[in-house]
Structure 1
Amino acid sequence: MQTDLPEEVLREYSEKHKKPESVNFAYGTAGFRTLGERLDSVMFRMGVLAGLRSKALGGKTIGVMVTASHNPEADNGVKLVDPMGEMLEQSWESYATYLANAETTDEFITNVQAVIYRGGISISQPANVVYARDTRPSGAALVAALEDGLKAIGVEGGGWNAGVTTTPVLHYLVRTTNTKGTPEDYGEPSEEGYYSKLAAALKALLSGKPSPPPLIVDCANGVGALSVAAFSKHVEGVFQFQPTNTDLQTPGLLNFKAGADFVKTSQSIPPALQGKLSAGQRAASFDGDADRLMYFYLDDQTSQFRMLDGDKIAALVAGHLVELVNAAGLAGRIELGVVQTAYANGSSTKFLEKRLPVKCVPTGVKHLHHAAEAFGIGVYFEANGHGTVVFSKETLALLNSHQPSTPEQTKATEDLIQLTKLINSAVGDALSDLLLVEVVLASKGYTATQWNSSYSDLPNRLVKVLVPDRSLYKTTDAERKLTEPVGLQEKIDALVAQYEAGRSFVRASGTEDAVRVYAEAGTREAADELAFKVAGLVYDEAGGDPAKRPKEFI
């Protein structure tokens, strides 16, 4: 057991994993994310930080996920996961950025010492870390750099390599490892335990109901394909997948014209499914690390594409939970609420506000998850399809101690308990969320068309504008209003006022040097026009070359 900082070992490994010159790293809403070829030094240093984080928490297991989620295949990234499967505590995000940007080995060693001092960390405290990666070609080399960091700081056994798996599985492993044998035991800490837990809950919830029709699942040519294949073995005869976009061998296919982000941003069917979807038949898309979910179908009257995004999922799930809580005789004893971001469609917000409390927070899972924890049952889904349901300790205790007085109350209570097992409350989970949606649809006997008819989305458009420095764009009011650059918000307001049911906001991307422009309006044409006009304002403000101004922005 080490009693002093292993400075010589850190120095040796740091020289092996030197920081590239003139590159600045920022730990954003999804950790570090950029071209995979730039991340060697960051991975080594995050291995060190993960070990320090575990030591700071008395040896609790910390998670490290190597992924760039929905980004192109050339990108990669890394994020740390705290003991209950939640995102890294915000104060430690600054430590991550602090270590990642040390220009030299001497500066890195000094910064490590500063983190130890500020965190009151005992370097002799054992540390435990579990890590995994997605299917990106750069992943193996980056994991090797991460492992050097874990070894250098003295993580027990050099860490637990969970291999190639989904982000939700990694979060699950962290939570189950830390809760094993406690009153908060979350399940068996293994990938097999994850599948078995979901399968058992699914079978219980579908018992006595007609089996859902086989579901087409677009796996984005990513690790979700492995997850679907592994889980399918646990639910044979109960639930059937028809996986597509499962090519993990051909270079360049990950997230390329496939996956949840493609469906959301292009608002169209992935090309691999063109001509393969029958009218009214629903399908779903995962993203590259299987933590986002998007549903879609072809209208059975017009054969037009219809998207069922995170807002639609939130409305479906929240409504079902309200009904179950009432049917269980627990109305007034469990507070339900929904958390959204500014990207939520205005129609979804109005629909939900008539049924239960709705709160708007800044973009980013850490904000949504924290706000959801304030409710007895908190539902959060970003419009991009990332989300989950959080149950408070008090709610879990109440469900397990509740004494129903009628058969209806008994069934509703049992369903709620099984839902706490089906839902991966640690993080957004495309597989778990898909099963949740299918259970609700089966319970209600809904088709995709009936689900979609709950409310009509306002037409909307999301546009990305590349900028030299995204840090110049600062917001307030849960990111719905710009405070800087000064004067830009007033110009946006003037444009929005020209459109019926118009709404638009601008925020800096959390993952790349870009600004995202969102717009809604009463018609598709108006929403597109408003989005591009606002994008034009941003382009001009950023000093874009007028000669190269995209024609859509005019």
Structure 2
Amino acid sequence: MARLFGTDGVRGRANDDITAELAVELAVGAAHVLADFGAFRDTATRPRAIVARDTRPSGPFLVAAVSAGLASAGVDVLDAGVLPTPGLAHLVEKTGADLGVMISASHNHHADNGIKFFARGGTKLPDEVEDAIEARLGESWDRPQGTDVGEIRPYENAVEEYVEHLRSTLTTDLTGLTVVADCANGASYLTAPAVLRAAGATVHVIGDRSDGGQINEGVGSTHLEKLQAAVREHGADAGVAFDGDADRCLAVDADGTVIDGDQIMAILALDLHERGELADDTLVVTVMSNLGLKLAMREHGINLAQTAVGDRYVLEEMTLGGYVLGGEQSGHVVMSRYATTGDGELTALHLLQRMATSGRSLRELGAVMTRMPQSLINVKGVDKQRAGIDHGVQEAVRAAEAELGDNGRVLLRPSGTEPLVRVMVEAATQEHADEIAERLAGVVRERLAL
């Protein structure tokens, strides 16, 4: 049976896969498991949780269900309303709350939704704790009565507190920079414009609808075309794009050229390295990062530590090694001095600050690395669980790797958040990368078809 939790919580079609009933059970299970693990404060008061959501239409009923489940298990709940995922993580850490629950499906379609948990301190739950929660779904339990049930009330000023936290991380203001911010019609529609303006930038905003019916639709970090056009239209110095829950950021320069997560990490790593603040001269990345990043960092004396895909695994490696910067090509960037998880708005602020302090354009800064030509194909309608064990698929991968030699690489992996297999190929030329990726995708479709 497939694991309920993916690389970033539980995710699926809202009111089909992700139902109110499941939300209640997950909340109750989380309360019980975290209590058993000794994760709640040793105090006479009830445990406290903070719940937040993005703008999706299904968000309110899922927040209500999660809140009901937690309160029924004797946990007090603060409802922070619409807030980016990293904003929730920050508030959990700041307030000493015992648990955080984010209702979001990140960059997915508006009909999807998800539930992800944060432990005390604002960190994502380890796999073993998620598995323990899943194992206890539907179990019978002794329900608290009377005044022992939890209270549910709003978290006042959640947006303002998060915006102030972001602004406080800057050492230089952004006066003189003109920026376009694409909020993906998601959770950053209030916070991103507010913090960029508070930092002194001139800001033009797109993708700032709050109804959630168009979250990620043609906007945000997965659809940069409107941002590119807006940057050129306004003569902006840069554009920054977030996803639905604003835990990732991509950028475009003044010409509309994309600056991806690898380039952003390279820019921030060099900044920290030059200031002697990059711990152990190491940047933490995932297996999806472009080979060009590795080559560029090696040239500047910076090491790479590599993890599985998912910012939770990046953060685990950062914690283990005491590193301060890591992330993913997709734009999840973790700056552990200021955040406990990937934070798109924090990333954007520090990228823009690097422009302000260096006096260099984003195009100049992004040129620190040359991306190897890369082809990525998402193969749908296949059994992703068999991708790593099917003999024919693995033979095709080995043959492709032998063909590429030292001039490229192959990565074939099941998505942790969507029902598909990702085929990624890097090669000396785009044509060669595309050709091998198409060939491997064909093998995956043939061998793993449902």
- Tell me, yes or no, whether TM beats 0.5: yes
1:318 and 2:269 aligned:
yes
Paired AA for residue 308 in structure 2: P
User: Any idea what the Cα deviations from partners look like across 1:464-484, whole Å, max 9, x if unmatched?
Assistant: 11144322223xxxxxxxxx1
SS of match in other structure, 1:270: helix
Contact 1:132 1:165 survives alignment (8 Å):
yes
Corresponding residue of 2:126: none
200 and 143 in structure 1: CA distance in 2 versus 1, 3 angstrom threshold = closer
Contact 1:48 1:152 survives alignment (8 Å):
yes
Corresponding residue of 2:348: 434
SS of match in other structure, 1:464: strand
> What's the offset of the Cα at 1:242?
1.3
- Alpha-carbon distance between aligned partners in 1 of 2:2 and 2:353, rounded to the nearest angstrom: 45
Contact 2:180 2:227 survives alignment (8 Å):
no
1:227 and 2:191 aligned:
yes
Corresponding residue of 2:168: 200
> What's the offset of the Cα at 1:488?
1.8
Task: Name which of 194, 209, 215 aligns with 1:247.
Answer: 209
Contact 1:172 1:189 survives alignment (8 Å):
no
275 and 200 in structure 1: CA distance in 2 versus 1, 3 angstrom threshold = closer
Task: Name which of 64, 76, 80 aligns with 1:144.
Answer: 64
1:172 and 2:66 aligned:
no
CA-atom RMSD in angstroms: 3.0
Paired AA for residue 249 in structure 2: L
- Alpha-carbon distance between aligned partners in 1 of 2:418 and 2:25, rounded to the nearest angstrom: 21
274 and 389 in structure 1: CA distance in 2 versus 1, 3 angstrom threshold = closer
- Alpha-carbon distance between aligned partners in 2 of 1:496 and 1:231, rounded to the nearest angstrom: 46
Contact 1:280 1:448 survives alignment (8 Å):
no
1:47 and 2:21 aligned:
no
Q: Mark the runs of 5 or more structure 1 residues left unpaired by the alignment.
A: 1-22, 62-121, 264-268, 300-304, 391-419, 475-483, 545-554
Corresponding residue of 1:261: 222
Matched residues, number: 390
Q: How high is the sequence identity, in percent, across the aligned residues?
A: 27
User: Any idea what the Cα deviations from partners look like across 1:27-46, whole Å, max 9, x if unmatched?
Assistant: 01111110011212221112
- Alpha-carbon distance between aligned partners in 1 of 2:418 and 2:238, rounded to the nearest angstrom: 32
Contact 1:343 1:382 survives alignment (8 Å):
yes
- Alpha-carbon distance between aligned partners in 2 of 1:362 and 1:274, rounded to the nearest angstrom: 35
275 and 151 in structure 1: CA distance in 2 versus 1, 3 angstrom threshold = closer
SS of match in other structure, 1:129: strand
Corresponding residue of 2:319: 373
Corresponding residue of 1:346: 291
- 1:281-430 to 2 correspondence within 5 Å? 281-297=237-253, 299=255, 306-325=257-276, 334-354=279-299, 355-390=301-336, 420=337, 423=338, 425-430=339-344
After superposing on structure 2, the runs of 4+ consecutive aligned residues of structure 1 that deviate more than 6 Å are: none
Corresponding residue of 2:14: 36
Q: If the length of structure 1 is used for normalisation, what is the TM-score?
A: 0.65
Corresponding residue of 2:80: 162
User: Any idea what the Cα deviations from partners look like across 1:62-118, whole Å, max 9, x if unmatched?
Assistant: xxxxxxxxxxxxxxxxxxxxxxxxxxxxxxxxxxxxxxxxxxxxxxxxxxxxxxxxx
> What's the offset of the Cα at 1:282?
2.1
> What's the offset of the Cα at 1:279?
7.5
> What's the offset of the Cα at 1:515?
0.4
48 and 502 in structure 1: CA distance in 2 versus 1, 3 angstrom threshold = same
Contact 1:441 1:447 survives alignment (8 Å):
yes
- Alpha-carbon distance between aligned partners in 1 of 2:31 and 2:157, rounded to the nearest angstrom: 20
> What's the offset of the Cα at 1:306?
2.4
Contact 2:27 2:66 survives alignment (8 Å):
yes
> What's the offset of the Cα at 1:309?
1.1
- Alpha-carbon distance between aligned partners in 2 of 1:125 and 1:133, rounded to the nearest angstrom: 26
Paired AA for residue 439 in structure 2: K
> What's the offset of the Cα at 1:280?
8.2
Q: If the length of structure 2 is used for normalisation, what is the TM-score?
A: 0.79
Paired AA for residue 241 in structure 2: S
274 and 432 in structure 1: CA distance in 2 versus 1, 3 angstrom threshold = closer
> What's the offset of the Cα at 1:274?
6.2
Contact 1:257 1:271 survives alignment (8 Å):
no
Larger deviation: 379-388 or 50-59?
50-59
- Alpha-carbon distance between aligned partners in 2 of 1:176 and 1:162, rounded to the nearest angstrom: 14
1:459 and 2:377 aligned:
no
> What's the offset of the Cα at 1:370?
1.0
> What's the offset of the Cα at 1:351?
1.3
Paired AA for residue 187 in structure 2: V
Paired AA for residue 87 in structure 2: V
Task: Name which of 210, 214, 217 aligns with 2:181.
Answer: 217
SS of match in other structure, 1:205: coil
Task: Name which of 444, 457, 466 aligns with 2:358.
Answer: 444
533 and 212 in structure 1: CA distance in 2 versus 1, 3 angstrom threshold = farther
- Alpha-carbon distance between aligned partners in 2 of 1:233 and 1:444, rounded to the nearest angstrom: 20
Corresponding residue of 1:74: none
> What's the offset of the Cα at 1:455?
1.9
Contact 2:232 2:254 survives alignment (8 Å):
no
